[in-house]
A and B are shown apart, each in its own frame.
Chain A
């Protein structure tokens, strides 16, 4: 069966520090991968999606970046965090039919 792992679960980082959140998927190949951010009262905001290794599409301009070094690995990064980067980050994957998304447990990021 397919599973998705996301870590860490919680993270407290100072302003200006770097960020690396990792997401891996097991039990499937060539998934579409997504990073969402959930801020209080603002629902889910799609940040990045990837349809294959090295293929990243950005939905929202910001100081975050994403990479997909392997088929089932998706990384969210930042060189310098801002206070506004605080939020709940969710990784998700869809099969090629794109008719259902499966989510990781999320990472609660607090920038202080």
Chain B
């Protein structure tokens, strides 16, 4: 079955500590991968995406993710988190469905950054 798995439902960290949010995808999905961020009571916003080319992609606010085909992973990392990074993060992948594709999401990881 096509799926995206986020291994951690909650990740508490202290401010300025590094963080890694894990994501694995089933090999049957197309290799377009995304991380979305959701702040409380808001919709999702695209954080970064891998479509092709360099396997390391970066966001404007210091997050990065690396596409690892052999491990079917797309983990999200940040070397030093801020209080404002507290949010829920969703990993997603394009799924091929007939002649159309649509995004499938992991269950999300709640990142809590504490002072």
Measured CB to CB, the nearest residue on chain B to A9 is: B41
A46 touches B104 (CB 8 A): yes
B104 touches A99 (CB 8 A): no
Known: A98-B100, A100-B49. A43 touches B106 (CB 8 A): yes
Q: Is B14 close to A, CB under 8 A? A: no
| Neighbouring A residues of B74 by C-beta, 8 Å | none
Out of B32, B43, B104, B107, name the residue touching A105 (CB < 8 Å).
B43
| Neighbouring A residues of B36 by C-beta, 8 Å | 101, 103
CA A49 – CA B102 in complex, angstroms? Answer: 9
CA A101 – CA B106 in complex, angstroms? Answer: 15
Out of A32, A42, A88, name the residue touching B102 (CB < 8 Å).
A32
B105 touches A43 (CB 8 A): yes
State which residues 9-34 of B face A: CB under 8 Å. 9, 32, 34
Closest Cβ of chain B to A111, distance in Å, is 18
B107 touches A42 (CB 8 A): yes
Known: A32-B100, A41-B9. A106 touches B42 (CB 8 A): yes
Q: Is B94 close to A, CB under 8 A? A: yes
| Neighbouring A residues of B41 by C-beta, 8 Å | 88, 106, 108
CA A100 – CA B103 in complex, angstroms? Answer: 8
Out of A32, A90, A99, name the residue touching B44 (CB < 8 Å).
A90
Listed A/B pairs (5) with beta-carbon separation below 8 Å: A41-B107, A44-B107, A90-B44, A94-B102, A103-B36
Q: Is A56 close to B, CB under 8 A? A: no
Q: Most chain-A Cβ atoms within 10 A of its Cβ — which of B41, B44, B106?
A: B44
Q: Is A74 close to B, CB under 8 A? A: no
Q: Is A87 close to B, CB under 8 A? A: no
User: Which 5 residue pairs of A and B lie closest in terms of their CB atoms, listed nearest first?
Assistant: A43-B107, A103-B43, A98-B101, A44-B105, A103-B44
